[in-house]
Amino acid sequence: MSSTSERLIETTRELLWERGYVGTSPKAIQQRSGVGQGSMYHHFDGKPALALAAITRTAEEMRGETEALLSAPGTAVERVTAYLRRERDVLRGCPVGRLTQDPDVMADPALRRPVEETFAWLRGRLAEVLAEGRDRGELPAPLDPAATAAAVVAVVQGGYVLARADGSAEGFTRAVDGALGLLAAHTAR
């Protein structure tokens, strides 16, 4: 990919995270990236195509970072803990999760797809790790991996909301601590 299209995608990723879809105008993308209108439309058919490239890149990056943690050595709980405790800019929120609050993204099936696929993948991957832990006796047999995975994702996304509402990372940290305490209680049985 050319450096011009890379600058456009990276700029759009940042603007979507900061301002959402409506607030990410072609003019704002051009100004921040330093790319002219002609060059922008040479590489992308329009704002929706550029936004799709940016959202897809953000989703792929999130999956890659998460997969590295979940496929690392260690017990299931250690790997889930690594995912929950990974460094995040909690006050900015999740760059994929925030898109679910954007009505324009959620109304467009093409823009919505990478968001849906990412969360489905994340729940599925966490469920696999938790099932592995259950099957190895690290977690109790009655544990429902799919429900627990959904709860872990909800804790992360809800933790972002709490942190943003409080203006402090403490809300996120407390939510993660609570989830890990519940997992620890299951492993102690």
Looking at residue 39, its pLDDT comes to 87
pLDDT of residue 38: 87
Spatial contact of 63 and 121, defined as CB atoms under 8 Å apart: yes
Domains of the chain in sequence order: 55-188 (1.10.357.10)
**Are residues 170 and 187 in contact, defined by beta-carbon separation less than 8 angstroms?**
no
What confidence tier does 1 reach under pLDDT thresholds 50, 70, 90? low
Each residue's pLDDT tens digit, 176-186: 999 999 998 87
pLDDT in tens, 82-133: 999 999 999 999 999 999 999 999 999 999 999 999 999 999 999 999 999 9
Q: Which pLDDT value is given to residue 73?
A: 97
As separate numbers, helices (DSSP H) first and strands (DSSP E) second, the chain gives 9, 0
The three-state secondary structure class of 150 is helix
The pTM of this model reads: 0.91
